[in-house]
Amino acid sequence: MVRVTLDNISKFFGKVRAVVDLNLEIDDGEFVAFLGPSGCGKTTTLLMVAGIYRPSRGRILFDNEDVTDLPPKDRNIGMVFQSYALYPHMSVYDNIAFPLKLKKEPQREIDKKVREIARLLRIDELLDRKPAQLSGGQKQRVALGRALVKEPDVLLLDEPLSNLDAQLRILMRAEIKRLQKELRITTIYVTHDQVEAMTMADRIAVMNKGRLQQYADPQTLYNKPANIFVASFIGSPPMNLIEGELEAPDDNSVFFVSSGIKLKLPNVPPNVAKDGQREVVLGVRPEDLQMVGPGDADKEETLEGSIYVVEPLGKEFLINVQVGDHVLKMLVPADGMPEAGQRIRIRPNFSKIHLFDKKSQKALL
């Protein structure tokens, strides 16, 4: 097991700033996901850890040893690509054994390691087959076996499940997580799929435009997003985000005001409003909104609107509610069928609302 440190690394391609001043610490045996949209710098970072790209500046350390200038073959890493990259003319056995043959290990040792890994990945009955005879999930296991057979210090996975169908992805997510916990290999996993990152990783590095937005465990990212980007990227359905202003008419109350909305925020201290008024973005997740009856809540702490669209999701409905000039999404149990056009009153769970400064985009609460 190895601790990986990214010390202020950047990567530039001409004028393109792919990664900028990235600092990360990945602990021994930890499973870390790099998450973000296409072009955010996550794969570039992975390739710098692998030694395929050299950072434009900064250092990469494995257990405090500077490996920035070491070639990939001297870093003892295992890498699994999105495309599997299996040799079509070789059997499964030979594909897995290939890295060991390159290292000229004794045949008896190679045979022992290949069969052990095949058993671990539950592909021991496929060793004589060629890649063309395998399903997508089986190919992915072979690619994983080839990376693991050389007992790497660090395992690097670049969107390894994106070519699989939805059901197989769920199965392979669980398999990779089980394997990583069993072997305790320090693992970096690149994905643009937040569900993959949230279900598999110990910690997630959320990236956008080459910069780290937040680095935390899944629950912290979900419950305490550091900025508007993280709030909008994490969560499905996504968080409702409404631009408006905070107004503090006195020392005891704060209101959020936007077009067609005036909402009292009982949990927000007046000093957040900054001189009585402040441009903000209010965030509230669909599951943190609930329908209330006319006398069930202080009217100033509720919003009135009409149901715009109803989306059945099986155990619950996703309702789009028109409130003023805004459409808010909310999740409600599927025990009564709401109808489009119906007028309803909704109340946020004020202990779970989010406020962001409109200019800096950072969380205020």
Distance in angstroms between the alpha carbons of the first and the last residue of the chain = 38
Q: What is the pLDDT of residue 133?
A: 94
Which positions ≥6 away from 32 have C-beta within 8 Å? 24, 26, 187, 188, 189, 201, 202, 203, 204, 205
CATH for the stretch 4-233: 3.40.50.300
DSSP collapsed to 3 states, 249-292: EECCEEEEEECCEEEECCCCCHHHHCCCEEEEEEEECHHHEEEE
Q: What is the pLDDT of residue 300?
A: 86
Write out pLDDT tens, residues 260-316: 899 999 988 888 887 666 899 999 999 999 998 877 767 889 999 999 899 988 889
Q: DSSP per residue over 107-164, as a string? A: HHHHHHHHHHHHHHTT-GGGTT--GGGS-HHHHHHHHHHHHHTT--SEEEEESTTTTS
Q: What is the pLDDT of residue 167?
A: 83
Write out pLDDT tens, residues 154-188: 999 999 888 778 888 888 888 889 889 988 999 99
CATH topology of domain 240-357: OB fold (Dihydrolipoamide Acetyltransferase, E2P) (2.40.50)
Whether residue 27 is predicted with pLDDT greater than 90 in this model: the reply is yes
Query: Is residue 64 helix, strand or coil?
Result: coil
Element (H, E) at 10: strand 4-13
Q: Where are the domains of the chain?
A: 4-233, 240-357
Q: Are 60 and 94 in contact (CB under 8 A)?
A: no
Q: What is the pLDDT of residue 299?
A: 83
Global pTM value: 0.90
Within the chain, how many helices (H) and strands (E) appear? 8, 20
Please work out, in degrees rounded to the nearest 5, the angle formed at the alpha carbon of residue 109 by the alpha carbons of 104 and 111: 100
Q: Residue 334: how many CA atoms within 13 Å on its side-chain side?
A: 9
Q: How confident is the model at residue 13 (pLDDT cuts 50, 70, 90)?
A: very high
Q: What is the pLDDT of residue 169?
A: 83
Question: Phi and psi at residue 361, in whole multiples of 5°?
Answer: 70, 5
Place of tokens 């990783």: 201
Write out pLDDT tens, residues 33-76: 999 999 999 999 999 999 999 999 999 999 999 999 999 989 99
Whether residue 135 is predicted with pLDDT greater than 80 in this model: the reply is yes
pLDDT top residue among 229 and 120:
229
Question: Phi and psi at residue 249, in whole multiples of 5°?
Answer: -65, -25
